[in-house]
Amino acid sequence: MSQQSFADLGVSDAVVRALAARDVTAPFDVQRSVVPDVLAGHDVLVQSPTGSGKTLAFGVPLVDLVQAEDARAAALVLVPTRELASQVTADLREIAEARALSLAAVYGGAGIERQAKLARRAHILVATPGRLEDLVQRGAIRLDSIRVLVLDEADRMLDMGFRPAVDRIVALTPRDRQTLFFSATLEGATGQVAAAFTRNPRRHEQQASEHAKGRVEHRFVAVAHESKLDSLVNELATGERGRTLVFVRTKRGADRLVKRLSRHGVHALAIHGNRSQSQREKALGRFHSGAIDTLVATDVAARGIDVDDVTHVINFDAPEDRDTYVHRVGRTGRAGRHGIGITLVTGEQSTVVGKIASELRLHAQFAQSGMSEAGGRTHSRPSGAERGRKHPGQRGGRGRSGRQRSRSSRDR
């Protein structure tokens, strides 16, 4: 690994010291590639996965490009979710303060008057499209002084239907701005948007650095639809797991699954778009602190979850495409740790999940489920979680770990 430091990349002494105070001294691959181009004033297109260090790849040069005497706001970071807005703000606050810069997060689900007051004073805005447009329409903030625009997780922003809002927001910024475009993919519609928003960009395609990524064990478990909950409870009963993310497709499904798990003695919380901001922050806080070890999430809500020590990701509802699978399972095996990704697969889902496994070169792991990539279940042996266990649906919590049995009533 290169011994290049942030100072070697041209980062200011103040920011280097602020990073060192957080024990951040060796740049990740994406940071080594992107930071010099951004500091040189170039637009960039960056294809970079979760866990690769992309937030500091744009954040570090961003705070060096903005000056304390600049008009407010001088920079805008546009993100798809309020969780990601909070995460980016937390990651950048200390290095921004090192250069006497103010930072404000703008997102729905929180008091708009207070956000407007903070946003008017901020050098750097971190915002979701909907709330930002609300503030602009109220005349609370203007975007004509933006010198640097960052679109973070742009592909997800487009997937969520924000393209019209993003177009309107970008149109309010100066044409000669510098644009930093970060996405998990730069193909198709996302690539077209990237081309429209940037000028002569430098393109960077990065995998997670060896320092940032760990090893993920992939498992596919063949289940009948009616036994999915039992299989999930069995997987959660292992004493080897720590923090666990369980993915479902819908907000209603997340709430329903939490209730069903509680009847089996498994304490979990749900996070999705119908929760208030305070509820979401409380759930994330308890997950971060370890007060709960199981979080049930939808894909959109999980976009802002940044916890390095998630040991397990369980796809209760199987993903519908490769990108969704990679995004979900990429939440484990981070910061050099080992992680486990488990996908429950019913017979009707076998073709789609088999295709995903094939594209990711996980043929052998999928074959162990006893299902063929062409679809259909073979007469396979039960999964390891199911062999030798009593039925987990019995009252009294058979198969639960000691940790789960000891949860107090206050935690429920």
Q: Which amino acid is present at 320?
A: E
Q: In terms of domains, do 333 and 391 share one? A: yes
Check which CATH number belongs to the domain holding 13 and give it: 3.40.50.300
Same domain for 278 and 378, yes or no, is yes
- The mean per-residue pLDDT over the stretch 310-320 comes to 93
| Number of structural domains in the chain | 2
Give the 3-state secondary structure of residue 243: strand
Q: CA of 150: how far to CAs of 147, 157, 344, in Å?
A: 10, 12, 37
Of 159, 174, 205, the residue at which a domain comes to its end is 205
Range of the domain at 161: 7-205
Q: Is residue 272 part of a domain?
A: yes
Task: Write down which residue in 205, 234, 253 finishes a domain.
Answer: 205
Give tens-digit pLDDT for 181-200: 999 888 888 889 999 999 99
114 shares a domain with 68: yes
Query: Of 205, 233, 248, at which residue does a domain stop?
Result: 205
Rounded to the nearest 10°, the torsion over CA 127, 130, 131, 136 is: 100
412 pLDDT tier (thresholds 50, 70, 90): very low
Amino acid at 19: L
- pLDDT for res 335: 63
Residues 254 and 128 in one domain: no
User: Is residue 276 in some structural domain?
Assistant: yes
**Beta strand segments in 107-236, E:** 124-127, 148-151, 178-183, 202-205, 215-222
Is 305 contained in some domain? yes
The predicted structure's pLDDT at residue 323: 80
Residues 6 or more apart from 181 whose CB is under 8 A from it? Answer: 43, 44, 45, 46, 150, 151, 154, 194, 197, 198, 201
Does residue 256 have a pLDDT over 70? yes
**112/168 Cα distance (integer angstroms):** 20
pTM of the shown model:
0.63
**Does the residue 2 lie in any domain?**
no
Average confidence score pLDDT of the chain: 84
SS3 257: helix
Per-position b or e across 175-191, b if 16+ CB within 10 A of its CB: eebbbbbbbbbbeeebb
How much of the chain exceeds pLDDT 70, in percent? 83
Give Cα 248 distance to the centre of its chain: 15
Model pLDDT, residue 258: 94
Gyration radius of the chain's alpha carbons? 22
B/e letters for 99-127, b = 16+ CB within 10 Å, e = fewer, are bebbbbbbbbbbebeebbeebeebbbbbb
Pair (201, 219) in one structural domain: no
Whether 85 and 174 map to the same domain: the answer is: yes
Residue 301 pLDDT class (50, 70, 90 cuts)? low
pLDDT in tens, 110-162: 889 999 999 999 999 999 999 999 999 999 999 999 999 999 989 888 877 88
**333 burial type by CB count under 10 A (0-12 exposed, 13-18 middle, 19+ buried):** buried
Q: What is the pLDDT of residue 409?
A: 30
> Do residues 199 and 219 share a domain?
no
Percent of the chain with pLDDT over 90: 54
Q: What is the pLDDT of residue 214?
A: 57
Residues 20 and 159 both lie in one domain:
yes
